[in-house]
Amino acid sequence: MSYLAKNYNRKKIAFKYGKGSYLFSTNGKKYLDFCSGIAVTALGHSHPKLVKTINTQSKKLWHVSNAFQIPEGENLAKKLCQKTFADYVIFQNSGAEATEAAIKVARRYFYSIGKPNKTRILCIKNSFHGRTLATIFASGSKKMTEGFGYVGGFDHFDFGDHKSLKKKITKNTAAIMIETVLGEGGIKVIPDWCLKELRKICDKKKILLILDEVQSGVGRSGDFFAFEKSNVKPDIVPIAKGIGGGFPIGAVLMNKKVASGMTPGTHGSTFGGNPLAMAVGNTVMDIVSTKKFLNNVKKSSKYFFSKLNKLKEKYPSIIKEIRGKGLLIGIQLYKDQATFIKKLMENKLLTIRAAENVIRILPPLNVKKREIDIALKIISKVCNQLK
Ligand SMILES: Cc1ncc(COP(=O)(O)O)c(C=O)c1O
Protein backbone atom coordinates (compact mmCIF):
# COMPACT_ATOMS: atom_id res chain seq x y z
CA MET A 1 0.00 0.00 0.00
CA SER A 2 1.32 3.40 -0.96
CA TYR A 3 0.47 6.56 0.95
CA LEU A 4 1.30 8.68 -2.08
CA ALA A 5 -1.77 10.15 -3.80
CA LYS A 6 -2.53 8.55 -7.13
CA ASN A 7 -1.80 11.55 -9.37
CA TYR A 8 0.93 9.60 -11.17
CA ASN A 9 0.67 6.32 -12.99
CA ARG A 10 4.09 5.10 -11.87
CA LYS A 11 6.02 2.24 -13.46
CA LYS A 12 6.82 -0.57 -11.04
CA ILE A 13 10.49 0.15 -10.80
CA ALA A 14 12.69 2.09 -8.37
CA PHE A 15 16.31 3.14 -8.63
CA LYS A 16 19.04 2.85 -6.05
CA TYR A 17 21.69 4.97 -7.67
CA GLY A 18 22.78 6.57 -10.91
CA LYS A 19 26.11 7.13 -12.60
CA GLY A 20 26.58 9.11 -15.79
CA SER A 21 23.99 7.98 -18.33
CA TYR A 22 22.99 4.94 -16.31
CA LEU A 23 20.46 4.18 -13.58
CA PHE A 24 20.70 1.10 -11.37
CA SER A 25 17.42 -0.36 -10.10
CA THR A 26 16.71 -1.73 -6.63
CA ASN A 27 16.36 -5.19 -8.21
CA GLY A 28 19.89 -5.04 -9.58
CA LYS A 29 19.31 -4.04 -13.21
CA LYS A 30 21.20 -1.42 -15.22
CA TYR A 31 19.26 1.00 -17.43
CA LEU A 32 20.46 3.49 -20.02
CA ASP A 33 18.66 6.64 -18.90
CA PHE A 34 17.55 8.60 -21.98
CA CYS A 35 14.76 10.23 -20.04
CA SER A 36 17.03 12.18 -17.67
CA GLY A 37 14.18 12.96 -15.29
CA ILE A 38 12.50 14.67 -18.28
CA ALA A 39 15.41 16.83 -19.45
CA VAL A 40 16.67 17.54 -15.93
CA THR A 41 19.88 15.60 -15.28
CA ALA A 42 21.70 17.44 -18.05
CA LEU A 43 25.11 16.24 -16.87
CA GLY A 44 23.99 12.68 -16.13
CA HIS A 45 23.80 11.21 -12.64
CA SER A 46 26.32 11.90 -9.86
CA HIS A 47 28.50 14.19 -11.95
CA PRO A 48 31.72 14.51 -9.88
CA LYS A 49 31.75 18.33 -10.09
CA LEU A 50 28.12 18.57 -8.96
CA VAL A 51 28.72 16.10 -6.15
CA LYS A 52 31.73 18.14 -5.03
CA THR A 53 29.79 21.41 -5.22
CA ILE A 54 26.89 20.11 -3.18
CA ASN A 55 29.22 18.56 -0.60
CA THR A 56 31.25 21.72 -0.20
CA GLN A 57 28.32 24.12 -0.12
CA SER A 58 26.26 21.91 2.22
CA LYS A 59 28.99 22.26 4.82
CA LYS A 60 28.98 26.06 4.47
CA LEU A 61 25.43 27.36 4.03
CA TRP A 62 22.16 25.97 2.70
CA HIS A 63 19.60 28.66 3.09
CA VAL A 64 19.17 32.29 3.96
CA SER A 65 16.23 34.55 3.24
CA ASN A 66 16.11 36.74 0.17
CA ALA A 67 15.96 39.58 2.67
CA PHE A 68 19.77 39.30 2.57
CA GLN A 69 22.43 39.43 -0.12
CA ILE A 70 23.14 36.01 -1.65
CA PRO A 71 26.50 36.15 -3.48
CA GLU A 72 26.03 32.70 -5.07
CA GLY A 73 22.79 33.93 -6.66
CA GLU A 74 24.40 37.21 -7.77
CA ASN A 75 27.07 35.14 -9.41
CA LEU A 76 24.67 32.84 -11.29
CA ALA A 77 22.46 35.75 -12.38
CA LYS A 78 25.55 37.52 -13.75
CA LYS A 79 26.57 34.43 -15.72
CA LEU A 80 23.06 33.99 -17.14
CA CYS A 81 22.87 37.65 -18.17
CA GLN A 82 26.34 37.70 -19.69
CA LYS A 83 25.54 34.59 -21.72
CA THR A 84 22.08 35.65 -22.95
CA PHE A 85 19.73 38.49 -23.96
CA ALA A 86 18.80 39.06 -20.31
CA ASP A 87 19.57 42.00 -18.03
CA TYR A 88 17.94 40.64 -14.88
CA VAL A 89 16.98 37.32 -13.29
CA ILE A 90 14.54 36.19 -10.59
CA PHE A 91 15.20 32.73 -9.15
CA GLN A 92 12.47 30.19 -8.47
CA ASN A 93 12.32 26.48 -7.72
CA SER A 94 10.56 24.91 -10.70
CA GLY A 95 9.48 25.39 -14.28
CA ALA A 96 5.86 26.18 -13.47
CA GLU A 97 6.93 28.82 -10.97
CA ALA A 98 9.24 30.30 -13.60
CA THR A 99 6.52 30.46 -16.29
CA GLU A 100 4.04 31.87 -13.79
CA ALA A 101 6.58 34.50 -12.75
CA ALA A 102 7.08 35.30 -16.45
CA ILE A 103 3.34 36.04 -16.71
CA LYS A 104 3.56 38.26 -13.63
CA VAL A 105 6.54 40.17 -15.04
CA ALA A 106 4.65 40.83 -18.31
CA ARG A 107 1.48 42.03 -16.58
CA ARG A 108 3.34 44.10 -14.04
CA TYR A 109 5.32 45.85 -16.77
CA PHE A 110 2.15 47.15 -18.43
CA TYR A 111 0.69 48.06 -15.05
CA SER A 112 3.83 50.04 -14.25
CA ILE A 113 3.57 52.06 -17.46
CA GLY A 114 -0.07 52.94 -16.82
CA LYS A 115 -1.71 50.22 -18.89
CA PRO A 116 -3.29 48.04 -16.19
CA ASN A 117 -5.81 46.45 -18.56
CA LYS A 118 -3.10 44.86 -20.67
CA THR A 119 -3.09 41.53 -18.84
CA ARG A 120 -4.01 38.84 -21.36
CA ILE A 121 -1.45 36.27 -22.43
CA LEU A 122 -1.77 34.59 -25.82
CA CYS A 123 -0.59 30.97 -25.89
CA ILE A 124 -0.66 27.91 -28.13
CA LYS A 125 -3.58 25.57 -27.52
CA ASN A 126 -2.42 22.30 -25.93
CA SER A 127 1.01 23.61 -25.07
CA PHE A 128 2.66 22.98 -21.69
CA HIS A 129 3.76 25.61 -19.23
CA GLY A 130 3.38 23.73 -15.96
CA ARG A 131 0.83 22.52 -13.44
CA THR A 132 0.00 25.50 -11.22
CA LEU A 133 -3.50 26.90 -11.60
CA ALA A 134 -2.43 29.76 -13.85
CA THR A 135 -0.06 27.68 -15.98
CA ILE A 136 -2.61 24.91 -16.69
CA PHE A 137 -4.98 27.57 -18.01
CA ALA A 138 -2.09 29.08 -19.97
CA SER A 139 -1.48 25.66 -21.51
CA GLY A 140 -5.05 25.58 -22.78
CA SER A 141 -5.49 21.85 -22.49
CA LYS A 142 -8.91 20.49 -21.55
CA LYS A 143 -7.33 17.42 -20.00
CA MET A 144 -5.16 19.48 -17.64
CA THR A 145 -7.79 22.05 -16.63
CA GLU A 146 -10.79 19.76 -16.23
CA GLY A 147 -12.10 19.91 -12.67
CA PHE A 148 -9.93 22.81 -11.61
CA GLY A 149 -12.35 25.69 -11.92
CA TYR A 150 -11.26 28.63 -13.96
CA VAL A 151 -8.37 31.05 -14.17
CA GLY A 152 -8.90 33.77 -16.75
CA GLY A 153 -6.52 35.94 -18.67
CA PHE A 154 -5.39 33.52 -21.36
CA ASP A 155 -6.25 33.31 -25.06
CA HIS A 156 -5.23 30.55 -27.42
CA PHE A 157 -4.44 29.87 -31.04
CA ASP A 158 -3.74 26.58 -32.79
CA PHE A 159 -0.12 25.60 -33.45
CA GLY A 160 0.87 26.96 -36.87
CA ASP A 161 -2.33 28.99 -37.37
CA HIS A 162 -0.83 32.41 -37.92
CA LYS A 163 -4.08 34.00 -39.06
CA SER A 164 -5.83 33.14 -35.82
CA LEU A 165 -2.77 34.25 -33.83
CA LYS A 166 -3.00 37.74 -35.32
CA LYS A 167 -6.77 37.86 -34.84
CA LYS A 168 -6.52 36.91 -31.18
CA ILE A 169 -4.32 39.90 -30.28
CA THR A 170 -6.53 42.55 -28.67
CA LYS A 171 -5.87 45.87 -26.98
CA ASN A 172 -5.68 43.94 -23.69
CA THR A 173 -3.00 41.48 -24.83
CA ALA A 174 0.19 41.82 -22.81
CA ALA A 175 2.29 39.05 -24.30
CA ILE A 176 2.57 36.02 -26.52
CA MET A 177 3.99 33.07 -24.60
CA ILE A 178 5.14 29.96 -26.43
CA GLU A 179 7.55 27.08 -25.93
CA THR A 180 10.42 27.44 -28.42
CA VAL A 181 10.14 23.67 -28.82
CA LEU A 182 6.85 22.15 -27.68
CA GLY A 183 8.10 19.34 -25.48
CA GLU A 184 5.09 17.61 -23.91
CA GLY A 185 3.16 18.56 -27.05
CA GLY A 186 5.24 16.19 -29.19
CA ILE A 187 8.67 17.81 -29.75
CA LYS A 188 7.43 20.36 -32.24
CA VAL A 189 10.08 22.90 -33.13
CA ILE A 190 9.02 26.49 -33.86
CA PRO A 191 11.08 27.35 -36.97
CA ASP A 192 13.41 30.34 -36.86
CA TRP A 193 11.43 32.26 -39.52
CA CYS A 194 8.36 31.88 -37.35
CA LEU A 195 10.16 33.19 -34.25
CA LYS A 196 11.27 36.19 -36.33
CA GLU A 197 7.69 36.81 -37.46
CA LEU A 198 6.48 36.54 -33.86
CA ARG A 199 9.02 39.15 -32.77
CA LYS A 200 7.86 41.44 -35.58
CA ILE A 201 4.21 41.02 -34.61
CA CYS A 202 5.02 41.70 -30.95
CA ASP A 203 6.97 44.85 -31.88
CA LYS A 204 4.20 46.08 -34.15
CA LYS A 205 1.51 45.50 -31.53
CA LYS A 206 3.77 46.72 -28.71
CA ILE A 207 3.36 43.51 -26.74
CA LEU A 208 5.93 41.23 -25.14
CA LEU A 209 7.41 37.95 -26.33
CA ILE A 210 7.86 35.22 -23.72
CA LEU A 211 9.76 32.14 -24.88
CA ASP A 212 9.37 29.21 -22.48
CA GLU A 213 12.74 27.43 -22.49
CA VAL A 214 12.09 25.29 -19.42
CA GLN A 215 12.59 22.10 -21.42
CA SER A 216 14.53 23.31 -24.46
CA GLY A 217 16.95 25.67 -22.68
CA VAL A 218 20.34 25.39 -20.98
CA GLY A 219 22.10 23.58 -23.80
CA ARG A 220 19.44 20.99 -24.59
CA SER A 221 19.01 22.32 -28.15
CA GLY A 222 22.76 22.42 -28.87
CA ASP A 223 22.78 26.19 -28.28
CA PHE A 224 22.31 27.66 -24.84
CA PHE A 225 18.78 28.61 -25.89
CA ALA A 226 16.77 26.97 -28.68
CA PHE A 227 15.85 30.39 -30.13
CA GLU A 228 19.46 31.56 -30.41
CA LYS A 229 20.01 30.79 -34.12
CA SER A 230 16.97 32.90 -35.05
CA ASN A 231 18.70 36.00 -33.63
CA VAL A 232 15.38 36.88 -32.02
CA LYS A 233 15.54 38.63 -28.68
CA PRO A 234 12.62 37.70 -26.44
CA ASP A 235 11.58 39.95 -23.54
CA ILE A 236 11.15 37.21 -20.96
CA VAL A 237 12.43 33.62 -20.78
CA PRO A 238 11.54 31.14 -18.04
CA ILE A 239 14.03 28.31 -17.49
CA ALA A 240 14.30 25.39 -15.03
CA LYS A 241 15.06 21.66 -15.45
CA GLY A 242 18.64 21.52 -16.82
CA ILE A 243 20.00 24.52 -14.91
CA GLY A 244 19.90 22.54 -11.65
CA GLY A 245 21.19 19.29 -13.14
CA GLY A 246 18.75 17.52 -10.78
CA PHE A 247 18.56 20.12 -8.03
CA PRO A 248 15.26 22.06 -8.16
CA ILE A 249 15.96 25.48 -9.69
CA GLY A 250 13.78 27.71 -11.80
CA ALA A 251 14.49 31.19 -13.06
CA VAL A 252 12.89 33.90 -15.09
CA LEU A 253 15.22 35.93 -17.29
CA MET A 254 14.11 39.35 -18.54
CA ASN A 255 15.28 42.47 -20.27
CA LYS A 256 15.74 45.83 -18.59
CA LYS A 257 12.52 47.27 -19.95
CA VAL A 258 10.21 44.70 -18.39
CA ALA A 259 12.29 44.35 -15.22
CA SER A 260 11.42 47.95 -14.40
CA GLY A 261 8.00 46.83 -13.18
CA MET A 262 9.40 44.36 -10.65
CA THR A 263 9.86 46.67 -7.71
CA PRO A 264 10.37 45.45 -4.10
CA GLY A 265 7.45 43.34 -2.90
CA THR A 266 6.07 42.47 -6.35
CA HIS A 267 7.38 38.89 -6.34
CA GLY A 268 9.18 36.53 -4.02
CA SER A 269 9.96 32.98 -3.05
CA THR A 270 11.19 31.61 0.27
CA PHE A 271 13.42 28.98 -1.29
CA GLY A 272 14.10 30.58 -4.70
CA GLY A 273 17.78 31.39 -5.13
CA ASN A 274 19.07 29.87 -1.89
CA PRO A 275 22.86 29.39 -1.59
CA LEU A 276 22.77 25.59 -1.98
CA ALA A 277 20.69 25.73 -5.18
CA MET A 278 22.75 28.61 -6.54
CA ALA A 279 26.05 26.83 -5.93
CA VAL A 280 24.79 23.89 -7.98
CA GLY A 281 23.43 26.21 -10.70
CA ASN A 282 26.80 27.95 -10.98
CA THR A 283 28.60 24.65 -11.53
CA VAL A 284 26.06 23.50 -14.15
CA MET A 285 26.34 26.88 -15.88
CA ASP A 286 30.14 26.79 -15.92
CA ILE A 287 30.04 23.43 -17.67
CA VAL A 288 27.13 23.74 -20.12
CA SER A 289 27.68 27.29 -21.31
CA THR A 290 31.08 26.68 -22.87
CA LYS A 291 31.43 26.56 -26.65
CA LYS A 292 33.19 23.22 -26.43
CA PHE A 293 30.38 21.60 -24.43
CA LEU A 294 27.67 22.98 -26.71
CA ASN A 295 29.59 21.90 -29.82
CA ASN A 296 29.69 18.43 -28.39
CA VAL A 297 25.91 18.46 -27.87
CA LYS A 298 25.55 19.49 -31.54
CA LYS A 299 27.88 16.69 -32.62
CA SER A 300 26.00 14.04 -30.61
CA SER A 301 22.72 15.40 -31.94
CA LYS A 302 23.85 15.27 -35.56
CA TYR A 303 25.00 11.69 -35.16
CA PHE A 304 21.83 10.61 -33.34
CA PHE A 305 19.52 12.27 -35.89
CA SER A 306 21.32 10.79 -38.90
CA LYS A 307 21.13 7.28 -37.43
CA LEU A 308 17.49 7.68 -36.36
CA ASN A 309 16.56 8.87 -39.85
CA LYS A 310 18.21 5.74 -41.22
CA LEU A 311 16.03 3.68 -38.88
CA LYS A 312 13.00 5.58 -40.14
CA GLU A 313 13.94 4.56 -43.71
CA LYS A 314 14.41 0.97 -42.60
CA TYR A 315 11.09 0.82 -40.72
CA PRO A 316 8.78 3.13 -42.71
CA SER A 317 5.64 1.45 -41.42
CA ILE A 318 6.58 2.08 -37.80
CA ILE A 319 8.42 5.42 -37.62
CA LYS A 320 6.54 8.37 -39.08
CA GLU A 321 8.94 11.18 -38.28
CA ILE A 322 12.10 12.07 -36.38
CA ARG A 323 11.67 15.49 -34.79
CA GLY A 324 13.48 17.88 -32.53
CA LYS A 325 16.56 19.93 -31.95
CA GLY A 326 19.84 19.08 -30.25
CA LEU A 327 19.25 16.31 -27.73
CA LEU A 328 15.54 17.03 -27.44
CA ILE A 329 14.49 14.30 -29.82
CA GLY A 330 11.13 12.84 -30.74
CA ILE A 331 10.41 9.63 -32.58
CA GLN A 332 6.89 9.89 -33.89
CA LEU A 333 5.25 6.53 -34.46
CA TYR A 334 2.21 5.69 -36.55
CA LYS A 335 0.67 3.90 -33.59
CA ASP A 336 0.35 4.61 -29.89
CA GLN A 337 3.81 4.64 -28.37
CA ALA A 338 3.06 2.86 -25.06
CA THR A 339 4.01 -0.65 -26.24
CA PHE A 340 7.17 0.64 -27.90
CA ILE A 341 8.29 2.48 -24.72
CA LYS A 342 7.54 -0.64 -22.65
CA LYS A 343 9.66 -2.77 -24.97
CA LEU A 344 12.51 -0.24 -24.89
CA MET A 345 12.37 -0.47 -21.11
CA GLU A 346 12.41 -4.26 -21.19
CA ASN A 347 15.61 -3.85 -23.19
CA LYS A 348 16.96 -1.48 -20.52
CA LEU A 349 16.47 1.81 -22.32
CA LEU A 350 14.44 4.49 -20.53
CA THR A 351 12.52 7.05 -22.59
CA ILE A 352 9.33 9.03 -22.05
CA ARG A 353 6.18 9.75 -24.01
CA ALA A 354 4.96 13.02 -25.51
CA ALA A 355 1.76 13.88 -27.38
CA GLU A 356 1.09 12.80 -31.00
CA ASN A 357 2.47 9.24 -30.54
CA VAL A 358 5.92 10.62 -29.88
CA ILE A 359 8.65 8.90 -27.87
CA ARG A 360 10.87 11.52 -26.28
CA ILE A 361 14.59 10.80 -26.23
CA LEU A 362 16.39 13.01 -23.73
CA PRO A 363 19.89 11.73 -23.04
CA PRO A 364 22.21 13.65 -20.74
CA LEU A 365 23.94 16.41 -22.70
CA ASN A 366 27.33 14.78 -22.11
CA VAL A 367 26.16 11.42 -23.49
CA LYS A 368 28.87 9.30 -25.10
CA LYS A 369 28.77 8.08 -28.70
CA ARG A 370 28.90 4.46 -27.56
CA GLU A 371 25.84 5.06 -25.37
CA ILE A 372 23.95 6.51 -28.35
CA ASP A 373 24.96 3.40 -30.30
CA ILE A 374 23.56 1.13 -27.56
CA ALA A 375 20.28 3.07 -27.62
CA LEU A 376 20.09 2.87 -31.42
CA LYS A 377 20.60 -0.88 -31.29
CA ILE A 378 17.76 -1.25 -28.80
CA ILE A 379 15.42 1.02 -30.80
CA SER A 380 16.23 -0.94 -33.96
CA LYS A 381 15.60 -4.24 -32.16
CA VAL A 382 12.17 -3.05 -30.94
CA CYS A 383 11.28 -1.76 -34.43
CA ASN A 384 12.14 -5.19 -35.78
CA GLN A 385 10.01 -6.92 -33.13
CA LEU A 386 7.00 -4.70 -33.84
CA LYS A 387 7.17 -4.51 -37.63
C1 LIG B 1 8.09 23.95 -21.50
C2 LIG B 1 7.78 23.67 -20.07
N3 LIG B 1 7.37 24.67 -19.28
C4 LIG B 1 7.11 24.47 -17.98
C5 LIG B 1 7.22 23.21 -17.41
C6 LIG B 1 6.91 23.01 -15.96
O7 LIG B 1 8.05 22.69 -15.25
P8 LIG B 1 7.97 22.02 -13.80
O9 LIG B 1 7.46 20.63 -14.00
O10 LIG B 1 9.37 22.07 -13.28
O11 LIG B 1 7.04 22.84 -12.99
C12 LIG B 1 7.63 22.14 -18.20
C13 LIG B 1 7.76 20.78 -17.64
O14 LIG B 1 7.81 19.80 -18.30
C15 LIG B 1 7.92 22.37 -19.57
O16 LIG B 1 8.31 21.39 -20.38
Strands (E), 61-195: 88-92, 120-124, 154-157, 173-179, 181-182, 188-189
Predicted confidence pLDDT, tens digits, the chain (387 residues): 899 999 999 999 999 999 999 999 999 999 999 999 999 999 999 999 999 999 999 999 999 999 999 999 999 999 999 999 999 999 999 999 999 999 999 999 999 999 999 999 999 999 999 999 999 999 999 999 999 999 999 999 999 998 999 999 999 999 999 999 999 999 999 999 999 999 999 999 999 999 999 999 999 999 999 999 999 999 999 999 999 999 999 999 999 999 999 999 999 999 999 999 999 999 999 999 999 999 999 999 999 999 999 999 999 999 999 999 999 999 999 999 999 999 999 999 999 999 999 999 999 999 999 999 999 999 999 999 998
Question: Cα(196)–Cα(178) distance, rounded to whole angstroms?
Answer: 13
Measured from the Cα of 132, ligand 1's closest atom is 11
Residue 131 CA: nearest ligand 1 atom is: 11
The pTM assigned to this predicted structure is: 0.98
* Residue 282: CA count within 13 A, CB half-sphere: 20
Pocket flag, ligand 1, residue 139 (CB < 6 Å): no
Q: How many residues does the chain have?
A: 387
Residue type, 341: I
Q: Are 269 and 283 in contact (CB under 8 A)?
A: no
What is the per-residue DSSP string for 295-318? HHHHHHHHHHHHHHHHHHHH-TTT
Kindly provide the residue ranges of all beta strands, DSSP E only, lying in 83-218, ordered along the sequence: 88-92, 120-124, 154-157, 173-179, 181-182, 188-189, 208-212
How many angstroms separate the alpha carbon of residue 215 from the centre of ligand 1?
Answer: 6
Ligand 1 center to residue 129 CA distance, Å?
A: 5
Q: How many helices (H) and strands (E) does the chain have?
A: 13, 17
Domains of the chain in sequence order: 27-47+291-365+374-386 (3.90.1150.10), 49-288 (3.40.640.10)
246 lines ligand 1 (CB under 6 A): no
What's the CA-to-centroid distance between 96 and ligand 1, angstroms? 6
